[in-house]
Structure 1
Amino acid sequence: MGRKQTIDRNAVLDAAEKVVSERGIGALTIDAVAKASGISKGGVQYAFGTKDDLIGAMIDRWEAEFDAETAALRNGDETAQSMVQAHAEATRHFDEASVDRAAVMLAAMMQDKDRLARTRAWYEARLNAIDTSTEEGRRLRLAFLATEGCYLLQSFGFMPMDEAEWQQVFEDILKLAGKG
């Protein structure tokens, strides 16, 4: 009797990211991911179910990676200021993969009301951690919103910035958040 094959979900997610980065969100199909990961279409479906479930798993992994990065940057500091500074620092390290991720996330949210609700809850939790009854809290909220605005504008190509300008903007955001 043969050994039961296991599918490395992370390897399949890596393959899905590669499909999106090389060919765009429209090319993300179960078949394309199967070919890119070297497994059968049924193997991808066994590991993730539907294309929507695959996209959800991609987003969950990205969110976990981002949350882990911000937690490491906070180094145990649970203040709102630390949260906003870490969020800006993590976002500052934007790369081309982030553009692809933003496109996948937007497409997923347009089709999945539960995903949209979870994303809203994620933002709400961060914004609710900021005491906006103080001047400092209002600056932190503005820094958080500026961080997200820059990320989205850059991700969707609405306002491309070269690396020098990107870094300069984030220096300003971090100063607004009380760093430096």
Structure 2
Amino acid sequence: MFACVRGRKSSREKILDAAAELVSEIGSGRLTLDAVAERSGLSKGGLLYNFPTKEALLQAMIQRLIDQVTSEKEALRQRAEPGPNLEARLCTQTLLNMCGGKMKDVATGMLAASSENPRLLEPVRETVKQTLEQLKTTSEDVDASLLAWLAVEGIRSMEMHDISPFSEEDRERVVQAVGRLLSKGIAA
């Protein structure tokens, strides 16, 4: 019995998957609980049991994005080479790995939703604040770590909004420079 249950997604996961698909397709502003219930294959009552409001659903989607970034970072940690500025290297590589695809569409939709309700981004603000403090306290070269993080966040932000002027070659040059900066530091 456990083998069958283990492979099935929970109702909550189905709802979050359906909501992410819809946000990618139509944006968060046009997202409705009815559409999410239909897409997830659950009744509206089942959806409301898990997420009583659209805001609760959006908050869970944002938390899920944060959790995915954290999981990716921890997976990278298992394979990371020892060396200077480890947390900054993990943080920047995680952000670079998660820039595109479906995550970009969902993150963009969540950012749009936050324009109507800025409180939705409170968990993101807290995560960014914690990341900054972690970089300050764990980096061998704090300046290099902060510059690298800001450079990657800038790339990610421009790509998320489809305003990046960088060619693939230019982007790769910046990524390589970030890698050199973190492995050798500014004073190299």
| Both structures adopt the same fold (TM-score exceeding 0.5) | yes
Q: Does 1:124 align with 2:129?
A: yes
Match of 2:24 in 1: 21
User: What TM-score, normalized to structure 1?
Assistant: 0.81
Q: What is the aligned-residue RMSD (CA, Å)?
A: 3.0
Q: Does 1:73 align with 2:85?
A: no
Return closer, same or farther for 1:20/1:164 CA change in 2, 3 Å cut-off.
Answer: farther
User: What TM-score, normalized to structure 2?
Assistant: 0.78
Deviations along 1:69-96, whole A, 9 cap, x unmatched? 1122123989982121112112222222
Match of 1:136 in 2: 141
**CA distance in 2 between partners of 1:34 and 1:144 (Å):** 38
> Aligned partner of 1:14: which letter?
D
**CA distance in 2 between partners of 1:79 and 1:52 (Å):** 42
Deviations along 1:130-174, whole A, 9 cap, x unmatched? 338x98210100111111111111001121655554444322222
| Equivalent residues in 2 for 1:4-153, closer than 5 Å | 8-75=11-78, 81-93=85-97, 94-131=99-136, 136-153=141-158
> Aligned partner of 2:93: which letter?
E
**CA distance in 2 between partners of 1:7 and 1:98 (Å):** 20
Q: Identical aligned pairs, as a percentage?
A: 33
**CA distance in 1 between partners of 2:19 and 2:173 (Å):** 33
**CA distance in 2 between partners of 1:85 and 1:156 (Å):** 24
**CA distance in 2 between partners of 1:35 and 1:160 (Å):** 39
**Aligned to 2:162, what secondary structure does the other structure show?**
coil
Higher relative contact order (CA 8 A, sep 6+): 2
Of 175, 181, 188, which residue of structure 2 is paired with 1:176?
Answer: 181
Structure 1 gaps, min length 5? 1-5
